[in-house]
Structures are given as structure tokens and as C-alpha cells.
Amino acid sequence: MSVQATARISAVTDRRGVTVLPVLESSGPLALRRTRSPRAPYARVTVVGAMTAPLGGDRLAVAADVGDGARLTVDSAAATVALPGAGPEAGPATYDVRLAVGEGAVLRWLPEQLVSAYGSELRMTTRVELAASARLVLREEQILGRHGEPTGTLTTRLTVRRAGRPLLDQQLAYGPGAPGGWDGGAVLGGHRAVGQLLVVDPDYEGDTCPETRLLSPSAVLTRLAGPAVLVTAVADDARLLRRVLDEALHELKSLD
């Protein structure tokens, strides 16, 4: 039996300017927990898997609304593993992430890896709406197959709008049924871990934005048409991928 669940987070500032969480609504396998943040003055929410998900046919969603001036970090306690459903009739699972960040607000969206297990089919979408003075650090990491197994089918789409205008719209597809060439030299080149790090910072306006360049033989920093950069990397495994993305974020020294 498939599961439908939507978890919701709302972060706002109180009279003292401290970020508080008036809405923290867990649902189904998506359990939200207030956790201590090592980065004052951020509030922090950790997503804890309350049950195995997503399975084929599941419909999961997370919505986070960061009000004007608020600062929020969202992470997860463990990797998310996409698994096949009970049978072919289950169909693909979907996982929708909807984020809104207000004026002067900061969101650090840093979940653990998404693992596409053999036989699974997952369609994941992330939609972000940013105010003109909002700041964002968003990390996505996909691991194609558990140890020693082929990947499942995974399609991801990341859409970001800033001040009502498009900033980034990117779709990736891997595994059986994906367009040909996804595992070729121009895309993954045999690697099984792929990740993106998006940093949006109004301080990057004009000449202060980092220039497009290679960070390593398997990672590139791309300057976007706006105050933002996108780091894209591939690696042999999750540990190496995280190291590349962490080093990139440290180099950018953004949103400390």
C-alpha cells in the first residue's frame, strides 16, 4: 500500500529577532525534530525517517517557509533510500520539496544523500522561491545504487526563482529508461555519486561573484545569471562526493 505524506516547516523571527518554529508538522515517514544548531543564530530542523520510504507508489512532500529575517538549517539524520514497491503496478514514487525564503532570510538546506536502489523508480522535484535579498545554500547528492548493485531509475528536477524571475531550472535522469548517454563520458563517466551545491547570495552581485572554473577533474563551479553559483561534481562514492562539496562550500565561505 502506497503512502501519501506532507511534512511542513515554518520559521519566523520573534520580537527579539530570534528564529522560532511555529509550525513543525511531521507526516507518515517524514518525522521532523528540533535539534540544537551549532551555528547561532540559526534554528535547526532534522528530518528523521520514521519508516522505510520512499517505496514505489509513495507520494512524499516537504514544504519549508522561511519568513523575513529568519535563519534556518534543515538537515537529515540519515540517507534516504528509494526502494522498489511491492510490484510493477505500484508505479514510481515521487518526492516533492517546496521551499520559500523571505526578504533578508537565510536557508541552509543540507539533507543527507539520496540512494537509488536497484529496481526503484523515483521522481524528485525541488522548487525554490527566493525573495530578492534572500540567501540560500542547497545541497543535493545522489548515489546510484547501493554497494555492488546497479542503480534504479532516478529523475530529479531543481527549479529556483529569485524575485519572481527564473534563476535555475535543471533536470537530471539516470538509470533504466533514462535518455541514452547518462553513464557516458560526457555525463557520469562511470561514477556512481553525483551532487550539486547551489549558493545564492546577494553579495555576489556584479564583479564579486566567483568566476566559472574547474575545482577538480570531476567538479566545476559555474557562475549563474544572477548572484549565485552552482557546483556540480561526480565521484566514485558518497564519501568522496561529500568531501568535494564541503571543500567547495568552505572555499566560497558563504552564509557563515
Q: Which residue type occupies 203?
A: D
> Has residue 138 been placed in a domain?
yes
Give the chain's domain count. Answer: 1
Residue 46's pLDDT is what? 97
- Whether the bond between 176 and the residue before it is cis, its omega within 30 degrees of 0, is no
Dihedral angle, C-alpha 232, 233, 234, 240, nearest 10 °: -150
Nearest to 9 by CA among 38, 41, 40, 44: 44
> Has residue 249 been placed in a domain?
no
Residue 254's pLDDT is what? 57
Domain extent for 164? 14-190
C-alpha cell at 76: 537529515
User: Mean pLDDT score of the chain, rounded to an integer?
Assistant: 92
Residue 88's pLDDT is what? 64
> Has residue 27 been placed in a domain?
yes
> Has residue 18 been placed in a domain?
yes
Q: Which of 30-34, 91-95, 218-222, 252-256 has the lowest mean pLDDT?
A: 252-256
Alpha-carbon gap, residue 54 to 76, rounded angstroms = 15
Q: Identify the band that residue 17 occupies on the pLDDT scale cut at 50, 70 and 90.
A: confident
Residue 43's pLDDT is what? 95
Q: Identify the band that residue 256 occupies on the pLDDT scale cut at 50, 70 and 90.
A: low
> Has residue 209 been placed in a domain?
no
Assess contact for 93 and 124: CB atoms under 8 A: no
Return the percentage of the chain with pLDDT > 70, whole number: 97
> Has residue 233 been placed in a domain?
no
pLDDT tens digits for range 129-140: 999 999 999 999
> Has residue 66 been placed in a domain?
yes
pLDDT tens digits for range 199-251: 999 999 877 888 899 998 889 999 998 899 999 999 999 999 999 999 999 98
Alpha-carbon gap, residue 224 to 158, rounded angstroms = 14
Block residue for cell numbers 545564492: 200
Alpha-carbon gap, residue 125 to 123, rounded angstroms = 7
- For residues 78-93, give the mean pLDDT: 84
pLDDT tens digits for range 138-158: 999 999 999 889 999 999 999
Alpha-carbon gap, residue 252 to 245, rounded angstroms = 11
Assess contact for 175 and 152: CB atoms under 8 A: yes
Alpha-carbon gap, residue 96 to 126, rounded angstroms = 6
> Has residue 118 been placed in a domain?
yes
Residue 213's pLDDT is what? 92
